[in-house]
């Protein structure tokens, strides 16, 4: 099996975080991430600060001409920007200020993230309380609004860190459930119909176009079982980020085809919550096993795999989060030094 060269802006033997970090201090989080992940640092998310710093609220604050406020049942579309929108935008601005401070002169890859169109549609409620996923027109409007918001977010990040080679990560934990028709309605008694795969792929292709326009590479992250590797490859993503422990051999063919097509695997092999860490080589042993099973060339391993935690680190202690990121870096070096 021969695969396409997979060297990206972050180079071979890279490691990165998924996005969220513990605590509420933006400067401390930015310092930790940029200090630990020199090859591929990322803009931290700090959901512990509360509404607007959470995954959905943060992305809702990026939307253009679509606004949202927080109800007891979750985030809901609003007629105009209110306190919750202003708070989300303020948190993001604070995070960007901190990132800018610690990336002066940075000329390597830099990752920013937002919720993808399908997890957003499954999570953001329309005025009647049902998820936007129930309305195809609302899904299209939401995708268009998100695209405009991401253009602005990437442009703002580039203005603050002009030497960076940007990577856009879309968080899509609900994507497998959207494809399987497993997202529950507001009543909880039924589920929304599965969205046609071509429609899902089309929206993600629109996101890939936004990234390309901005000179960025697109990564889609999902820490749920059943990541649709083939669909994401067809949509034109650069990389797929996932919890490695959830893979099954049923996905081998799709993963092998993705790697052969040049897709980078962001392998979540380091636990995202406090616990003992194995030696770095042990953490990536399963990646080497997969590589051998697929018959892929060992020399391409460190070019085709970025080592990450299994998911975000918001639920970890600050000390463990620092240790986990450092462990990812050492594990990635182990892959590069000894791919066999």
The predicted model gives 128-152 an average pLDDT of 96
Asked whether the predicted pLDDT for residue 2 surpasses 50, the reply is no
Residue 75, H or E segment: strand 74-78
User: Does the residue 9 lie in any domain?
Assistant: no
Helix boundaries (H) for 65-180: 83-102, 117-123, 136-160, 175-180
Query: CB burial class (10 A; 0-12, 13-18, 19+) of residue 238?
Result: buried
Asked whether the predicted pLDDT for residue 34 surpasses 50, the reply is yes
Q: What is the pLDDT of residues 188-198, one digit of tens each?
A: 889 999 999 99
Average pLDDT of every residue of the chain: 94
CA distances from 338 to 10, 28, 132, 300 (A): 19, 33, 47, 11
Q: What is the pLDDT of residue 6?
A: 57
User: Does the residue 316 lie in any domain?
Assistant: yes
The predicted model gives 271-297 an average pLDDT of 92
**DSSP structural state of residue 226:** S
Instruction: Give 340's pLDDT tier (boundaries 50, 70, 90).
Output: confident
Helix, strand, coil: what percent of the chain each, to 5? 45, 15, 35
The predicted model gives 13-27 an average pLDDT of 96
What dihedral angle (degrees, nearest 10) is formed by the CA atoms of 316, 319, 321, 327? -130
User: Does the residue 13 lie in any domain?
Assistant: no
Q: What is the pLDDT of residue 7?
A: 59
* CATH number, position 297: 3.20.20.210
Asked whether the predicted pLDDT for residue 124 surpasses 70, the reply is yes
Query: In sequence order, which residues have a C-beta less than 8 Å from that of residue 315 and are 6 or more positions away?
Result: 22, 272, 273
User: Does the residue 18 lie in any domain?
Assistant: no
Q: What is the pLDDT of residue 193?
A: 95
Q: What is the pLDDT of residues 297-323, one digit of tens each?
A: 888 899 999 999 999 999 999 999 999
Residue 95: both structure tokens together: 């995070």
User: Does the residue 3 lie in any domain?
Assistant: no
Count of structural domains, the chain? 1
User: Does the residue 282 lie in any domain?
Assistant: yes
User: Does the residue 71 lie in any domain?
Assistant: yes
CA distances from 17 to 4, 32, 133, 161 (A): 25, 11, 29, 19
Domain residue limits at 271? 26-337
Stated pTM of the model:
0.95
Crossing angle of the two packed helices 197-213 and 136-160, in degrees rounded to 10: 20
User: Does the residue 202 lie in any domain?
Assistant: yes
């Amino acid at each position: 099996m021969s695969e396409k060269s997979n060297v990206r802006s972050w180079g071979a033997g890279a490691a990165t975080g998924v996005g969220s970090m513990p605590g509420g201090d933006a400067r401390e989080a930015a310092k930790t991430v940029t200090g630990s992940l020199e090859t591929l640092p990322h803009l931290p998310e700090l959901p512990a600060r509360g509404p607007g710093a959470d995954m959905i609220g943060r992305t809702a604050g990026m939307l253009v001409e679509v606004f949202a406020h927080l109800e007891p049942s979750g985030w809901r579309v609003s007629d105009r920007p209110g306190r919750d929108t202003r708070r989300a935008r303020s948190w993001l601005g604070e995070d960007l200020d901190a990132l800018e401070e610690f990336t002066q002169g940075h000329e390597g890859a830099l990752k920013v993230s937002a919720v993808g169109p399908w997890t957003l549609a499954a999570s953001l409620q329309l005025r009647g309380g049902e998820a936007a996923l129930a309305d195809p027109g609302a899904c299209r409007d939401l995708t268009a609004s998100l695209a405009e918001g991401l253009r602005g977010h990437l442009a703002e990040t580039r203005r603050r860190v002009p030497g960076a080679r940007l990577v856009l990560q879309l968080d899509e934990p609900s994507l497998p459930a959207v494809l399987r028709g497993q997202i529950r309605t507001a009543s909880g008694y039924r589920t929304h119909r599965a969205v046609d795969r071509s429609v899902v792929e089309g929206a993600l292709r629109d996101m890939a176009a936004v990234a390309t326009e901005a000179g960025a590479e697109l990564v889609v992250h999902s820490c749920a079982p059943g990541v649709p590797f083939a669909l994401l490859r067809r949509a034109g993503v650069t990389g797929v980020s996932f919890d490695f422990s959830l893979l099954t051999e049923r996905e081998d063919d799709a993963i092998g085809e993705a790697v052969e097509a040049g897709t980078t695997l962001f392998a979540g092999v380091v636990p995202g919550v406090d616990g003992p860490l194995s030696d770095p080589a042990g953490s990536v042993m399963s990646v080497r096993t997969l590589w051998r099973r697929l018959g892929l060339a060992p020399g391409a391993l460190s070019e085709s795999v970025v080592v990450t935690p299994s998911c975000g680190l918001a639920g970890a202690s600050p000390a463990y989060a620092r240790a986990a990121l450092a462990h990812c870096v050492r594990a990635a070096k182990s892959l590069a030094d000894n791919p066999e």
